[in-house]
Structure 1
Amino acid sequence: MNTQKPTKFWLILPIILVLVIIFIAVSFYKKPEKVEKKILYEAILSDPKSFDPRDQVDAETYGIMYTIYNTLVEMDDSLTIQPAIAERWETKDFKEWKFFIRDDVYFHPDPAFGPAGTKKLTAYDVEYSLNRSLQPGGVGAFMLTDIVEGAEEVNQGKTEKASGIFAVNSTTLVIRLKKPYGKLLERLATPFFFIVPKEAVDYYKDEFARHPIGTGAYMFERYEPGNAVFLKKNPNFWKKDDKGKRLPYLDGLVFKILRNPQLALNEFLSGNLDAVEVQPVFADLVLKNGKLKKEFQKYKVAEHVALDVHFFAFNFEDKIFDNKYLRQALNYAIDKKVITEKILNNLATPAIGILPPGVYPDVERKPVYEANMEKAKELLKLAGYDGEKKIPELELHIDNKQTTELVAQYIQSTLKDLGINIKLKKTDFGTLLGDVSSGKSKFYYMWWEGTDPNPEIFMVQFKSDLLPEKGGYNFGRYNNKKADELYDAAVGELDPEKAKNLWLELNSFLIDDAPWIFLYHTKRVRLLQPYIFNYDNNPMEIRRYYTTIKSE
C-alpha cells in the first residue's frame, strides 16, 4: 500500500517558474565581447641590470627606461630638441638658464606616496633628480660637473646640492653654469637626467633599481628575470595628441628576453612579436640587395643608419698599447669591408672615425685605415717588433652576441698572419661593461651610441679627467694634452661653425692617434607586423611609443 501523500502542484510551481526564467535568461544572454588590450611585444637580448638612471646600463635597458621616465627636454625623431617636463625655457647669456615646469605632470601611482597614492611633479623634484645624478657613483655626472656651478663639489661628496641648480618655486628651475655654454639642452635630454621622486628612492632604497617610478607614458608593472619586462599604460600621462586625446594609444609594452637573435626572428615570424631587429648575421635570410625577399614583403620595415660606432678599444694602462705604431698597425691589418659585407651582410658601413655619419652629415668623410697588410708590417717594425721581438698574446674581451664573436674570430685569424695571437674571453654584456669600467679589461669590444648628434657625446670617451671612477666614460684611460685642449676649446665655443671645425679637428687627431681599432657604423633594420603604425624610428634608437598604434 502506497502511503506517500500526493505532491501538491502549487508547492512546486515556484520552482518551475524559476527554472523557466533561468532558461529564458540563458537563452537570450549575449556574452559581452572581450576587449582586446593593445599590448606591443618587443625583444631584448639580455636581462636588464637596473632601471635607476644613476646606474650603468646597456642601450636596450635605456630603451625601456625612456618609456618610464621623462627628462626636462627631449629629442624627437628629427633630432630636434622639444619641450618635455619643461614646457619652455629661456636664457639671455647662455650662462643662466631658466626652465618653466609643466603644472600637470604626476608621478606613477605607488605606495611610496602614502595615502595620496601619487604626487604632482614640481621644480623641486627636478632639482633633487639632477643633484642625485651628480652624487658619487652617478654614471652621467660628468655631463654636468664640467659646466654647472657647484656640480663638481656634489660629485666629490663635499655637499648634497649644487649651487647652480635650484628651484625658485614649484614651477621654475634655474641652472647656472660656470661659463656660457650653448649645448646644455642636448645634455639634459640624455637618460642620465631622468626625473625621479625622492619619496620612491627613500621608500625602496636599493630596490629602486628594480622598482622604477617616473612620469613617462608607461608604468613599470613587473620584471621576470630571463622572461620579460612588463609595462602598462600610464592613464594620467601628461602628453596629448593634436585632437586633445591623452597619450599613449597602446595599453602596454612587453619586452621579451630572447638571448638568441634567431629565436627572436622566429618569434616575430610566428606572430608572437610585433617588431624585431634584423641581426646582421641573419640578414641574408630576410633581405636581398637591401630589400625584403618576396616571402617577407607583407611586413613593414623601419630602417636608418645608427648614430653609433663599433670598435675594439685599448686600455692605455697596459704599456703594450702605449705605442702608436702598434695601434696603427693593428688598424691597417683589419679589412673592415670583409666585416661589413661578409660578416654583417651589408648592415653596416666601415667606420669613418669617432663621429658617425649622422654627426655633421654635410661633411664628406672617408673610411679610416683601409686594409693594407704591407703597411701594417712596416708599422710593426717601427713599433719595435721586427721578428725577433714578439708581441705577447693579447686577451680580447667580448660580449656573447653572435655578431661580436664572428667579428672577433675574423680579427683573431687575421692578426695571426702578423704573428699576433689573440685569446678571446666571452661574457655577457653586463659583465663586460663592468670589467671595462673597472679597468680590468685591457683590450675589449665596445660600441658607442649617441643620444643626439652632438659630437661631444662621442668625444667624452677621450677626456683625460672623465674617468669611470669620476662618473665618466673614458674607459680606455686615454690621456693626451692636445686632445684635452681641443675638447675644451670645442665645448667652450658658442659659434656653431667654429665649434664644428674644432670637433672635426679633434676627430682627425684621434683617428691618427688610433685609440681604437675602428670597425663600423651599423645600419638598423627592424621588421614590423603589418598592423603596427606610427612606430618610432630614429638614429638614436629611442622609442617612447607615444602614438604607436597596434590595429589588428
Structure 2
Amino acid sequence: MYSWLYSIEEKIMNQQKIKWDKKYILIVFIGLCLVITFLIFNNREKSNTLIFEGSPEYIKKSDEQKKQLTIGVTNPPQESKSYLGQDQTSRLTKRLVYEPIVYIKKDLSIEFMLADKIIFSKDGLEAKVELNKKAKFSNGDVVNAETVKKSYLELNKTTSQYSQKDICKTIKGMEDYQLGKNNDISGIIIDNEYELTFQFNSCSILNIQGLSIPIFKTVENSKWAIGTGEYAFEKYSHNKSIELKKNLYKHTSKYAFEKIIIKGTSTIERKNEVDKFNLDICEVSLTSHINDIKEAKYHNVYEVNDAFHLNYLEFNLNDKVGENKDIRKTIYYSINKSDLKQGFDKNERMNNCQLSSLNNEKSLETYDLDIAKKAYHNVKNIKEIEYYTLGDTVSALRYDMMNKNLKEVGLNLKKTSQYDATLRYTTHQLTSPILDFEESIMNSSLKESYQTFIQSSYQNNCQNILKDFEDYCHNEYVTVPISTVAYGLAISSDVDQDSVRDLMINS
C-alpha cells in the first residue's frame, strides 16, 4: 500500500519538476532575448556617434603623460588673455579657468557656475543674482559682488578687445559705458557682498546670455589673470601652447588630470604627436586626415555635429506671406531634406530640427505631405512664395528640389534677387543663430505673444529659457533647420570619455 502511495508521489514530483524545468528554460530564454535586444539597441545607439573604437592596449605612455591631458587645436594660442577671444583655445580656457555666473552649453542648456540662485522679475527686466559663497579664485581669494562687477567693467570698457561685447548690450547703461560716455554701468547694482541686481533694457534671451561672460581677477606678481575654474594658468608659449594646472581651491572636480595642455597641432605634425602619445584629443575631418588616428588604434573617434554651423530656411516674418503661420507650417512639412542632399558637401548632415544642432541623428525628417496639405487648406489666395536665391549651381539645384516639393501641395516657388523675400536659405557660422531669430520675431506681429512667453519662461525656470525659446521657434515654424556640418572628435581610449567629450563639445 505504501509503495503505491510512494509511486504516485514520485510521479507527481516528476511532473512538477518537468513544469519547473520548462519555466526555468522559459525564464532563461526571455532573459537572453532581453540581453540580446539591449546589446543590439546599445550598439545601434553607439554607432550613431562612435565611428571608430580604439583600444588602450596600444597605448604606451610615460608616468608623466598619464597625469596630463593634451588637446590639439588647429590654431595655436595667440593671446595670453584668453578670456578675450572666441577661438577654440579661448573657449577651452574659459571653460577650464574663467567661470561665468552661468555657463551656456552649445545644446542651449544652462549651468549655474558662480551663481547660487537667480531670480528674474515678472517682466523679465531685472535679475537678482546670489553668488556661491564657497567660490574662490585660484589664489584663495573669495568671489564677491565687487569682483564680478569689476570683470564687467574691464571687459566692456572702450579699449577692451573682448569679442562678445554685444551680448552685454541688453544691460542698462552698458552701451553708453562701452562708448565711453559713462564711467559706470548703471544696470549692475551691488546689493551686498554676495548679491547683485542686473537691470535690462528689454525682456530678451540676451538677458541670460549677459550673465555668461568670464569672471576673472588680476593680481600683483602674476603674469596671468586668475579665475575660479578647476584649472589655473601655469605656462603660456605664444603661438605654441598653454599649460594649465589644478586649482587647489576648487573643491569640486570633473577631471582627474593634474595638468591640461592645449597646443597648436598642424595636420603635418599630428601623426608624429599621435605616435609619441602626445595627443589625447583632436578634431579631424571625416573625409580626410582621419587615417593617422585610425592607424594608431588607440583613439575613439566620434562623429559630432557643429553647433555653430547651421544651414536653414529663414522666413521673413515682416512679409505678408511670411507672417502667415499656416504658410510657414506648410513649407516646414513640405521640404524633403533627402532631396536636398544632392547639394550637401561631404561633411554635411541632415539636421534633426534642433537649433542647437548637437543631436547626432543623421536622417530625422519633418517631411509629411499630409500635415503640409492640411495646413495649406487653411491658406487663402496664396499660390506663390518668393525665394531669394543666388545664381550658383548649388543654389539652382536646391531651388529645383524645393520647388518640386512645394508643388506637391499646390505652391510655386518664385526666384528673386531681393534679399527681403518671403523665404531664403541661410548659412550661420561661429555663433548660435538664435539671436537672429529673436530679432526677427521682435520686429514681427509675433512680438506681443513672444514677450508674454519669454516673461513666463524666465519666471518658471531661467535655466530652461533657451530650450524654451528653441521650442517656441519650432512651434511657430520660424525656421526650417536643414543641415549641419559634422566633424570627427578623436579621444584617447584611456581617458574618461564622457567628461572629456562634454568639455570639447560644449566649449
Please tell me the TM-score bracket, short chain as reference. 0.5 to 0.7
2:115 to 55, 80, 86: 86
Question: CA 1:282–1:165 in structure 2 vs 1: closer, same or farther (change >3 Å)?
Answer: same
User: Counterpart of 1:175?
Assistant: 198
Q: Give the equivalent residue in structure 2 for 1:122.
A: 144
Relative to 1, partners in 2 of residues 1:72 and 1:53: Cα closer, same or farther, differing over 3 Å?
Answer: farther
Conserved? CA contact 1:267–1:273, under 8 Å? yes
* Contact 2:246 2:259 survives alignment (8 Å): yes
Per-residue deviation, 1:304: 3.2
Q: After TM superposition, list the pairs within 5 Å mapping 1:3-152 onto structure 2.
A: 38-52=67-81, 55-75=84-104, 80-93=109-122, 94-109=124-139, 119-136=141-158, 137=160, 138-146=162-170, 148-152=171-175
Q: Please list, as runs of the form range in 1=range in 2, the aligned pairs for 1:101-500 lying within 5 A after superposition.
A: 101-109=131-139, 119-136=141-158, 137=160, 138-146=162-170, 148-181=171-204, 184-189=207-212, 193-197=213-217, 199=219, 211-236=224-249, 238-240=250-252, 248-260=255-267, 262-282=268-288, 285=291, 298-309=298-309, 337=341, 340=344, 343-344=346-347, 348-349=348-349, 355=355, 357-358=357-358, 372-373=396-397, 447-450=429-432, 458-460=433-435, 493-495=454-456
Tell me how far apart the structure 2 counterparts of residues 284 and 106 of structure 1 sit (CA, whole Å). Answer: 41
Q: CA deviation at 1:252?
A: 0.7
Describe the SS at the equivalent of 2:189: strand
Give the C-alpha shift of residue 231 in structure 1. 1.3
SS of equivalent residue, structure 1 residue 139: coil
1:22-78 deviation per Cα after TM superposition (whole angstroms, max 9, x unaligned):
xxxxxxxxxxx9887711111011123335467443233212222111011224697
Cα distance change on mapping 1:125 and 1:220 into 2, 3 Å: same
1:129/1:194 contact within 8 Å kept = yes
Counterpart Cα distance in 1 of 2:445 and 2:145:
36
Indicate the SS of the match to 1:97.
strand
The one-letter amino acid of 1:254's match is: I
Change in CA separation of 1:358 and 1:232 when aligned onto 2, cut-off 3 Å: closer
- Determine helix, strand or coil for the equivalent of 1:277: strand
- Cα distance per residue 1:456-485 (max 9 Å; x no partner): xx2445899xxxxxxxxxxxxxxx999688
* Larger relative contact order (Cα-Cα within 8 Å, sequence gap ≥ 6): 2
Contact 2:85 2:91 in 1 (8 A): no
Q: Is the contact between residue 50 and residue 57 of structure 1 (CA under 8 Å) also seen in structure 2?
A: no
Native 8 Å contact 2:307 2:357 kept in 1:
yes
1:399-449 CA distances to partner (integer Å, 9 max, x unpaired)? xxxxxxxxxxxxxxxxxxxxxxxxxxxxxxxxxxxxxxxxxxxxxx98224
**Structure 2 CA distance, aligned partners of 1:58 and 1:519?**
25
Task: Give the drift of 1:160.
Answer: 2.5
Instruction: Kindly state the Cα deviation for residue 251 of structure 1 after the two structures are TM-superposed.
Output: 0.8
With the length of structure 2 as denominator, give the TM-score of the two structures: 0.58
Q: Distance in 2 between matches of 1:499 and 1:299?
A: 37
Question: Secondary structure of the residue that 1:157 maps to in structure 2?
Answer: coil
1:536 equivalent in alignment to 2:500: yes
Distance 2:251 2:107 in 1: 19
Match of 2:490 in 1: 527
User: Hey, what's the Cα distance between the residues in 2 that align with 1:525 and 1:276?
Assistant: 8
**1:269–1:150 CA distance, 2 compared to 1 (3 A):** same
What TM-score does the superposition give when structure 1 sets the normalisation length?
A: 0.53
Q: Is the 8 A contact 1:459 1:487 kept in 2?
A: no
Q: Helix, strand or coil: the match of 2:304?
A: strand
Q: Could you give the per-residue CA deviations for residues 236-294 of structure 1, whole angstroms, max 9, x where no partner exists?
A: 2x3425xxxxx65211111121122x53255224422112222233266379xxxxx7x
Distance across 2 between alignment mates of 1:296 and 1:58:
28
CA distance in 1 between counterparts of 2:109 and 2:491 reads 25
- Give the 3-state SS of the residue equivalent to 1:100 in structure 2: strand
> Cα distance, 1:213 vs. partner?
2.2
Contact 1:81 1:185 in 2 (8 A): no
Instruction: Tell me, yes or no, if the aligned pair for 1:123 and 1:173 is still in contact at 8 Å.
Output: yes
The answer for the alignment partner of 2:334 in structure 1 is none
RMSD of aligned residue pairs (Cα, Å): 4.9
How many residues end up aligned between the 2 structures? 368
Please name the residue that 2:317 is paired with. Answer: none
Measured in 1, the distance between the counterparts of 2:219 and 2:471 equals: 46
CA-to-aligned-CA distance 1:359-414 (integer Å, 9 cap, x gap): 9x9x9557x987644968x9999659xxxxxxxxxxxxxxxxxxxxxxxxxxxxxx
**How high is the sequence identity, in percent, across the aligned residues?**
17
What's the secondary structure of 2:455's corresponding residue? Answer: coil
Letter in 1 for 2:166: F
Deviation at 1:130, TM superposition (A): 2.0
Q: 1:282 to 1:481 in 2, by over 3 A?
A: closer
CA distance, structure 2, for counterparts of residue 269 and residue 447 of structure 1: 33
Distance 1:482 1:130 in 2: 27
CA distance in 2, matches of 1:176, 1:53: 28
Inter-CA distance 139–501: structure 2 relative to 1 (3 Å threshold): same
Do the aligned partners of 1:197 and 1:214 also contact (CA within 8 Å) in 2?
yes
Aligned-pair distance for 1:487? 8.2
Relative to 1, partners in 2 of residues 1:36 and 1:351: Cα closer, same or farther, differing over 3 Å?
closer
Q: CA deviation at 1:500?
A: 5.1
| Kept in 2: contact 1:182–1:494 (CA 8 A) | no
Give the Cα–Cα distance (whole angstroms) in 2 for the partners of residues 271 and 176 of structure 1: 50
Residues 143-186 of structure 1, C-alpha deviations (whole Å, 9 max, x = no match): 1213x222222122121322221222221111122344566334
Q: Secondary structure at the match of 1:168?
A: strand
